[in-house]
Structure 1
Amino acid sequence: MLDQQRLRRDTPGCLDKVFLDSAGSSLSPEPVLEAVTAHLRREAEIGGYLAAGERAADLADVKTALGELLGAEAGDFALVESATRAWTDFFYAVPLAAGDRVLITEVEYASNAIAALQRARATGAVVEVVPSTPTGEVDLDALSRMLDERVRLVSLVHAPTNGGLINPVREVVDLAHGVGALVLLDACQSVGQIPVDVATLGVDALSATGRKWLRAPRGTGFLYVRPELARTLEPAALDLHGAQWTATDGYRMAGDASRFEFWECSVAGRLGLGAAVRYLLELGIDEVSAAVSERAEAARAGLATVPGATVRDLGHTRSGIVSFTVDGIAPAAVREALAAKDITVTVSGRGSTLVDMSNRDLEAVVRASPHCFNSFEDLERLVEAVAAL
């Protein structure tokens, strides 16, 4: 069982306000803050190169910790600046030609969809949308009918940004692999709040961020690539970290996922990411996941009792993202009214998940995303404040 007092003590930002935006950019615990600020101070004392050299073992441990969390080896990860960078780095390395097909789902995130459409326009490939079931998940029967030997990649969002749905993954992987297609899993909203094991899921690649449920600093993210596949892909851009200049007219790429990395980075940010993953591993992902789920369900149950409030979450299995609307009040106005009472939520607009929101005739939803450090009193304050509107 999680030590709630310790969690809140480690997260001073949650003590004087109700913070419900871990799906946006969560509150980092004290060990993460210390890892980042201590390294920045050290850089100011001796310079960035020497400071990084002192922390070489800790920097290497970032990937080791990610491997422990996700069931992979350290060499299967590339550390990058964001989930979007991770997603696009992999996507742009997958060969595409005229007539090839890329499948996305109705809850595809805007950045991914834009990249897919841009590349399709350049290569002559096509992007097609797999329908959802009435309960919101990707329709596996429809996917099966759409798959053929021309499908090069299926992009699957594990947990969409606009509501508390968790998509099936292994079933999608098995269907896609049956026709030789790759599966790229956008785990931006799932890593850190639910158990994710890449071997069990069987995905070819996974993109994620540090700033959300992992509670790492902004500007951190990572890409997982299945090792056998990583050795066959050439990133769209390389530098002297991802490859070696071996002759006047030649270079040799790194033999693992590090070929997707660039040399320059925020060392302090990466140390913060490592500290965040280690903090989560110490707590236990199963315990954290259970706590997040309990709090999200408590919020949904409470909001369901408020006249005029409608919970918009779909799915049989739900994440820690709670989406809702209030009759007659724009989501942005709800967000500002709650902010005036020191309750932090955010708004997810139609443009972020265009197909799903358009299909459901929603312009925007209020998004509350409690983490394990939130108390149940926090959620009561949320419900009371929405009722007061």
Structure 2
Amino acid sequence: MDINTIRQETRGLKDGKIFLNNAGSSLMPDLVTDAMVDYLKLEEFSGGYHVADVNADILEEFYDETAKLVNAGPSNMAFATSATEAYSKALSSIIFKEGDVIITTADDYISNQITFISLQKKIGVKIIRMKNLPDHELDLEDLQRLIREHHPKLIAVTHIPTNSGLIQNVEAVGKMCREHDILYLVDACQSVGQMVVDVEKIGCDFLTATGRKFLRGPRGTGFLFVSDRVLEQDYAPLLLDMRGADCTGYNDYELFRTAKRFEHWEFSYASMLGLKHAVRYANNIGMDMVEKYNRELSRKLRENLKNYGFNVWDWGNRLSSIVTFSGPDGDLENIRKVLKENNVYFSVTYKNSALIDFTKKDINGIVRLSPHYFNTIEEIEKVSEILKASLK
């Protein structure tokens, strides 16, 4: 990786900021923004239908690039306006009935937990959370027991929770799902773009991702992977439109054969084009290179924070490029103040966004820094020194 070139191709880095909020919404490469603006200008003068028709082949490349990113086929990929939309459509394709069981983890993303609770309230599904081992990894023996006891309709795991650096063992869970023929949904919104994600190795039926985080794409974008076995069994969103099926009679339709059945007719083609360029940018660099570099950035940051006396709240054997911490006395506000004064971009997560995890850790919130491949070791050292000085 040529870090200097990558930084030069990112206008957002040219004003002196240190940007460490890539787990929230990252900085887009120049070519992503330029492609979207150029496309909108074409729509301004020619109208959206004409521009989409003329650029049909270019837009279709979105499916090739996202497929390459996660080791899938283009027919398995669908555009989404967010990871949440992708997740909701995947869930809506599963016909739940009262008493069906969803097994998830205690570290699942809070929005997903709320969705499961909504299904519990409206349909009567049961939510069961597998245990964690003393080293904070998933207890796979407990999962095996839960599968035998409850015969779940679905197992759902967030690859990397938004509130900590934990990387959950989605591959081992996928192996169990295949052995027991259980539907498997993976939320990869924090892992896609910062590390290698391979749907074949994971063994999932659905995988959801967003564009705005580590992929460095625009807001209002995401994608959904749908496995061949799910497509062949005619799973489809609860609410279809003509993007997903062909009306074959007054009271009948025929599903289209690809994952595009999970899309709706109307969405922003400029945004889709922007995400395509963001994914291609990541593919051209190589996710193995990105993962290796990010691992070193986050390792150094955690090491510094611990050495300086901060409480680091990332628990687990494998940790990602999300670093969460608080002051020695649990302080967040002074850290926020100091980082803002020094033009460091960050985020803060409070207990209502990670109720189970933060209750277990007995904390009310964390500061989150999420370095990415356009950051430098020098920036990590500078931020570490800024934070160290805040303790005096």
Q: TM-score, normalised by structure 2?
A: 0.96
Match of 2:193, SS state, is coil
Task: State how 1:20-59 maps to structure 2 within 5 Å.
Answer: 20-59=20-59
Q: Deviations over 1:8-39 (max 9, x none)?
A: 10112223110000000000111111111111
Do the aligned residues in 2 keep the contact of 1:116 with 1:127 (CA within 8 Å)? yes
Shift, 1:290, TM fit: 0.9
Match of 1:207, SS state, is strand
More off after superposition, 38-47 vs 322-331: 322-331
Residue 248 of structure 1 aligns with which residue?
250
Distance 1:217 1:9 in 2: 19
Do the aligned residues in 2 keep the contact of 1:323 with 1:365 (CA within 8 Å)? yes
Residue 86 of structure 2 aligns with which residue?
86
Q: Deviations over 1:130-169 (max 9, x none)?
A: 1122222221111111113630111111111111111111
Residue 203 of structure 1 aligns with which residue?
204
Answer yes or no: is 1:161 the counterpart of 2:162.
Answer: yes
Distance 2:138 2:357 in 1: 11
Residue 173 of structure 2 aligns with which residue?
172
Shift, 1:296, TM fit: 0.7
Letter in 1 for 2:32: V
Do the aligned residues in 2 keep the contact of 1:90 with 1:205 (CA within 8 Å)? yes
Cα pair distance change 1:333/1:47, threshold 3 Å: farther
Shift, 1:128, TM fit: 1.0
Q: Deviations over 1:236-271 (max 9, x none)?
A: 111111112221111122112111100111111100
Distance 2:183 2:40 in 1: 40
Do the aligned residues in 1 keep the contact of 2:330 with 2:363 (CA within 8 Å)? no
Match of 2:238, SS state, is coil
Shift, 1:55, TM fit: 1.6
Letter in 1 for 2:240: L
Letter in 2 for 1:100: D
Shift, 1:335, TM fit: 2.3
Shift, 1:284, TM fit: 0.8
Match of 2:180, SS state, is coil
Shift, 1:121, TM fit: 2.1
Unaligned 5+ runs, structure 1? none
Task: State how 1:117-132 maps to structure 2 within 5 Å.
Answer: 117-132=117-132
Q: CA RMSD in A?
A: 1.3
Answer yes or no: is 1:299 the counterpart of 2:298.
Answer: no
Distance 1:4 1:61 in 2: 26
Q: TM-score, normalised by structure 1?
A: 0.96
Shift, 1:212, TM fit: 0.5
Letter in 2 for 1:5: N
Do the aligned residues in 2 keep the contact of 1:227 with 1:257 (CA within 8 Å)? no
Match of 2:104, SS state, is strand
Distance 2:224 2:207 in 1: 6
Q: Deviations over 1:88-120 (max 9, x none)?
A: 111121121122110110111111111111112
Letter in 1 for 2:344: I
Distance 1:90 1:51 in 2: 30
Do the aligned residues in 1 keep the contact of 2:178 with 2:203 (CA within 8 Å)? no
